[in-house]
Amino acid sequence: MDKALENRLTRLEDIEIIREQLERYGHALDWHDGDLLDSVIFDDADVDYGIFKLDGRGAKDKLMEIEAAFPRRWHFTASPTIAFLDAFTAETVSYQIAVSSTEADPGNGLTQYFGWYLDRFEKRDGHWGIAARKHVLLGFGDIAEQRLPEIMQGLNRLTNASPAHPDYRKPGQSRVAMGQQ
């Protein structure tokens, strides 16, 4: 393979890995998976959420503390733009939506937050991770929930998600690969 084609292929792989890292971030918070979050944000990252400005290690601990207060939580990151500064550094802007509730049972209301993540990713020892993040909040609001009709009470529900839950799937691994049947 010629060098130009190899470089283009590497760039496409890097783009996909960065996108996957953005998805892993939400997955880590939703399932309260600190190990997964560790693979996304470097410990020495600069993280600014406005309500806290911490290094990566402190930010990860703070995020897990905040998320523990919500038995129902859901994070969504979409449409990242990725600009490479060089082969080992990229800046991204992505849309963010988070929905949470302090109540375990559906029908008690949700709060949604939406805005952007402004990230700098770095590739260290072959691993892409967040080296800097700024969260910019556009807005938030309450979502009224309806109580589930009796006929819908049997829907599968999830509260207090964790890696120990039988439905947990680490991104990129099947239940079989994780030792689950």
Domain coverage including residue 124: 3-147
* Angle (CA) 106 75 181, round 5°: 75
Residue 116 inside a domain? The answer is yes
pLDDT digits (tens, 9 = 90+) for 84-98: 999 999 999 999 999
Residue 88 inside a domain? The answer is yes
Residue 62 inside a domain? The answer is yes
7 CB-near residues (< 8 Å, 6+ apart): none
How far, rounded to the nearest angstrom, does the alpha carbon of residue 138 sit from its chain's CA centroid? 18
pLDDT digits (tens, 9 = 90+) for 60-73: 999 999 999 999 99
| Domains: count for the chain | 1
Q: What is the pLDDT of residue 1?
A: 74
pLDDT digits (tens, 9 = 90+) for 125-172: 999 999 999 999 999 999 988 777 888 888 887 777 888 888 888 887
Residue 181 inside a domain? The answer is no
- CATH number of domain containing 120: 3.10.450.50
Residue 178 inside a domain? The answer is no
